Amino acid sequence: MVDFEKLPSKSIVARLSGYGQDLKMNQMAGHDINYLAQSGVLDRLQTIPYNILADFAGGGLLAAFAIVSAVVRNNMQPPTQATILDIGLMPGFDPALAPVRRAG
């Protein structure tokens, strides 16, 4: 287990999980198809997508944006402690595919 309080102040830690640390479902197992269905996007798609859509759109894209944002913020205002980013695939996937929901 990592002791986050002992990390250097400019450290950025990105934690990716299925549902994030704060949702009620944070202890449940989940897979890409679960995140698609629970976000309401699956019923809008014409076919079942490859099993990496939520991983890339919800996790990877949001994690990359959050890390870059944290780097910029750290450069503008030096942090006093490490930055911990909690990224959930399900919460991140929801806004990433908002255009798909509007199109349907």
Q: Residues with catalytic annotation? A: 55
Judge whether 96 and 25 are in contact, CB under 8 Å: no
Phi, psi of 13 (to 5 degrees): -115, 125
Amino acid at 75: N
The pair of structure tokens assigned to 18 is 């299925």
Closest CA to 58 of 89, 85, 86: 89
Closest CA to 88 of 2, 21, 38, 4: 21
